[in-house]
Amino acid sequence: MKVLPYGRQNIEEDDIAAVVETLRSDFLTTGPKIAEFEKSVCEATGASEAVACSNATTALHLAALALDLKKGDCVIVPSLTFLATANAIRYAGVDVVFADVNPDTALMEGHHLEDALKRCGSLKPRAVFPVHMAGQCVNLAEIREIADKHGLYVVADAAHAIGAQYAGKPVGSCHYEDMSIFSFHSVKTVAMGEGGIITTNNKEWAKRLRHLRSHGMVKMPEVGPWYYEMSEIGYNFRVTDIQCALGISQMAKLKKFVARRQALVNLYDDLLKPLANAINPPARVPNCDPAWHLYQVRINFEEIGMDRATFMNKLLEKGVGTQVHYIPVHTQPYYTNLYGKLDLPGAQYFYEHTLSLPLYPSLQDDEARYVVQTIRSIIEAEK
C-alpha cells in the first residue's frame, strides 16, 4: 500500500536538470552556485547578507559562535523545538535555559521569555533563539522589545518558515532579529537534501560566519595567491555547489510551493469541521502570513477513545503516515541530567495533544480528503 508521508520533497525535471548541469561543470563545491544561492535567499527575505552552510544545525551553531558567547553565559530557547536549537548552544560551550510555549500554537511568547529570564540564576543571559513553528511566526516585535530591555541578541530559528511573513515583512528580513536561520532539509518547503543558511543585515557578522564555516581561514592575496591565515579555529560547515544548484531551482518556486501548502491547509480546515469535538486545525496567530511546513492537528484523545500510538498505527495501516513535532527538549535525558527536571506545562500539553498530518505540494486534494475520511472512519469505528 502506498503510504502518504507527513512530508516529502517536491523535485521536478528542471531541478534535476540544474543539478546535472552543475555535475558537468568545473565546480562541485566552493564554486559560484553558493553565492548565487545566497543571493536568491537575500532576494526572497530582504536581508542584505546570507551565509549558506551544510545544514540548519550548523547554521544555528555558526550563529551562536558569531555572538562570542562565554562560559557563564546562557541562551533562552523554547522547549518545543527540534533538538538542534538547544544543542547548538551547547556546541558553543554555554548553557541553555528553556522557555515554555503557548499550548495551542507551540510558540514562545513574551511572558514565557520573561519567566525563563527569571530562572537564569547566576548565569548571564546573552541571547534568545525564538522558534517559528510549523511555518507560523513568533511575535518578534514583542520578543525584540524584551530582548532590548535585557541586552539580548535575537536569533530566530526559522527552519520551518521560509516564505512566511510577519507584520508584512518576510521572515528572515532581520527587521526585528539579529540573525535568522533556515533549513533546506528534504521535507522543508525548499529542499536541497540537506542545507542551511543564516540571514543578517550585519556585514561583520556575515564576514565572520563565512570564515567560521571554512576552518576559520582568511585568504590574503596581498601576501600571495596561495596564502591564508587562521586567527581562530573554525569548522568544515561548507555546503556544495550541487546542493545549491538544487536550492536555486527550488527557490524560484517558493511562492508556488507556499501557495499550494496554504491551499491544502485551507482544505484540511474545511474537511475537519465535522470532527471539531475531537480534532481541531492548528490555532492561528496574529500578524502572520504563514508558509505552512507542518499541519499539526490538536487531538482530544479521550474523546476519540484511543491513545496516540494506537491512532497513529491505525492510520498507518490504511496508508496515512503521521509524525509528532516535537518531544519537549527539556525532557531529554541529556538535559534532565544537566539541569534537572523542569515543569513547562504549555510545551508538554502541545506535545501530548498534536499530530502532524501529510502536507507537501504534490499531495493531491483527493489524497487530503482520503486522510480526513480515514481519520473519521477510525474514530467512528471506536464508538
Question: What is the length of the chain?
Answer: 383
Q: Is 371 a residue whose pLDDT tops 80?
A: yes
pLDDT in tens, 125-175: 999 999 999 999 999 999 999 999 999 999 999 999 999 999 999 999 999
pLDDT of residue 98: 98
Cross-sheet strand order for the sheet of 153-157: 49-53, 196-200, 179-183, 153-157, 124-128, 73-78, 95-99
Q: Which domains does the chain have, with CATH numbers?
A: 13-251 (3.40.640.10), 254-382 (3.90.1150.10)
**pTM of structure:** 0.97
Q: Is 7 a residue whose pLDDT tops 80?
A: yes
DSSP code at position 223: T
pLDDT of residue 323: 98
pLDDT of residue 285: 96
pLDDT in tens, 277-288: 899 999 999 999
pLDDT of residue 288: 97
Q: What confidence tier does 382 reach under pLDDT thresholds 50, 70, 90?
A: confident
Q: Is 383 a residue whose pLDDT tops 80?
A: no
**Averaged pLDDT of the chain:** 97
257 Cβ partners below 8 Å, 6+ apart? 10, 163, 189, 190, 250, 361
Q: Is 1 a residue whose pLDDT tops 80?
A: no
Mean per-residue pLDDT, 318-330: 98
Mean per-residue pLDDT, 169-193: 98
The CA–CA distances, whole Å, from 368 to 130, 176, 236, 324, 345 equal: 31, 36, 41, 18, 32
Mean per-residue pLDDT, 326-348: 98
Q: DSSP characters for 85-152?
A: HHHHHHHTT-EEEEE---TTT----HHHHHHHHHT-TTSEEEEE--B--TT----HHHHHHHHHHHT-
Could you check whether the bond before residue 326 is cis, i.e. omega within 30 degrees of 0? Answer: yes
pLDDT of residue 304: 95
pLDDT in tens, 240-291: 999 999 999 999 999 999 999 999 999 999 999 999 989 999 999 999 999 9
